[in-house]
Amino acid sequence: MLDRLPLLIGLRYVRAKRRNHFISFISLTSMLGLMLGVAVLILVLSVMNGFDHELRTRILGMVPHTKIEARSGLVEWEALAEQLTQRERVIGAAPYVQQQGMFSAAGRNEGAMVNGIHPEWEDRVSIIGRHMQRGSLDDLQPGEWNIVLGSLLARHLGVGVGDRVTLLVPEASITPAGVFPRLKRFTVSGIFSVGADLDANLAYANIEDMQTLARLGDAVGGLRLELDDLFQAAPETRAIINELGSDYRGIDWTFTHGNLFQAIQMEKRMIALLLTVIIAVAAFNIVSTLVMVVTDKHADIAILRTIGATPRSIMGIFVVQGLAIGVIGIAVGVGLGIVLALTISDLIGWVESALGIQFLDAGVYFISDLPSRLHWGDVRNIIAAAFGLTFLSTLYPAWRASRVQPAEVLRYE
């Protein structure tokens, strides 16, 4: 019976109505603080995980993990692609010709990057084929001068499938009549949308058409490589360049989008730290609650000591009480956080539809919707951290209770 004494009395103190309503208020505040802190931390980390996942799947699904280029252009690119795909980490390769230019249609002008691609090879390194709204990459046949535009780029230009656009490249053509800018008219054969800023500044054309426009002959701009682990892009690129020699150079995704990924990781860590401080404040409110309970229960503690309760048992009573308050707050917070993390995307979408507004503009942010991805490992870490902080907050009040001297308390009873 004495072994169960801390558990029985500790839980009874949690359920009991107190004469001092201020103690009950502080206890409730601690519970609500833990609940909200845990729920918000789960929700925010899930959203940050969603941004991280979208960066990997959308942005880095369109942007090459690494690019291999030669100083004088790649002519025998098929042999090089075959050589590189023999490497353990390289799972795909595709040629490209890249050209920055200005699109013009119906008096509107928009700058964009045009990727000359081989339709049969592109699926090996890009997700573009899975995000076509209209048309297909197979429509990019050599000599037809077709082009696929991002959805935002097409909207800004006011064009659709079948319309004509003019591409002006930043190079001049010298003719007997003088110097003229180099331009070419394309027919819009498709529109893609990945829900990212790439929709506003990227277009695709056939690689042979872009070779002609860029006057590269049979050479291509380089090879885009897909790796099995994008975080190994930098060392793998260095290894490839060391193998190929100084005539080649490599550019991996960390040069183009590494800052964005690092910013997301840094924000995730800092937000987790700040919200953990909120949980810590709520947990240490339990200290105030238990200190006041110990003061209120001096007589009860003295009586328990006189009938044989040990200081360790008295300490256990108030540890149990504090943990019960914390566990209830943590459990409710975990449940609320999981529900919000699983539904926040739909909830934000409903609010946007109801109010006719858009919280995330792909022209400003790199995605157009609020992603959320719940990781159970994060949930376990949050529970462990919150429980640990709660346990630490119970130790001092419980130790104070175990130090109560029965004789001094009962002298005045």
Structural domains of the chain, count:
2
- Structural domain range at position 363: 4-58+261-410
Q: Whole-prediction pTM value? A: 0.68
143 and 246 within one domain: yes
Give, rounded to a whole angstrom, the gap between the first and last alpha carbons of the chain: 27
Lowest-confidence pick of 263-267, 351-355, 364-368:
364-368
Cα 28 to Cα 22: distance, rounded to the nearest angstrom: 10
Cα 82 to Cα 383: distance, rounded to the nearest angstrom: 49
AA identity, residue 231: F
315 and 402 within one domain: yes
Question: What does the pLDDT read at residue 192?
Answer: 92
84 and 53 within one domain: no
Tens of pLDDT, residues 174-211: 555 545 567 889 999 999 988 777 888 899 999 999 98
183 and 90 within one domain: yes
104 and 48 within one domain: no
Our separate counts of H helices and E strands in the chain read 15, 10
The pLDDT mean for the chain works out to 82
Q: Which of 253, 287, 321 is the last residue of a domain?
A: 253
321 and 357 within one domain: yes
Question: What does the pLDDT read at residue 131?
Answer: 85
Q: Which of 189, 224, 253 is the last residue of a domain?
A: 253
Cα 322 to Cα 11: distance, rounded to the nearest angstrom: 9
295 and 198 within one domain: no
Q: Is the pLDDT of residue 315 over 90?
A: no
Cα 267 to Cα 282: distance, rounded to the nearest angstrom: 23
Cα 331 to Cα 107: distance, rounded to the nearest angstrom: 60
Question: What does the pLDDT read at residue 380?
Answer: 92
Cα–chain-centroid distance for residue 364? 17
52 and 71 within one domain: no
Confidence bin at 166 (pLDDT 50/70/90): very high
Cα 80 to Cα 83: distance, rounded to the nearest angstrom: 5
Q: Which of 206, 237, 253 is the last residue of a domain?
A: 253
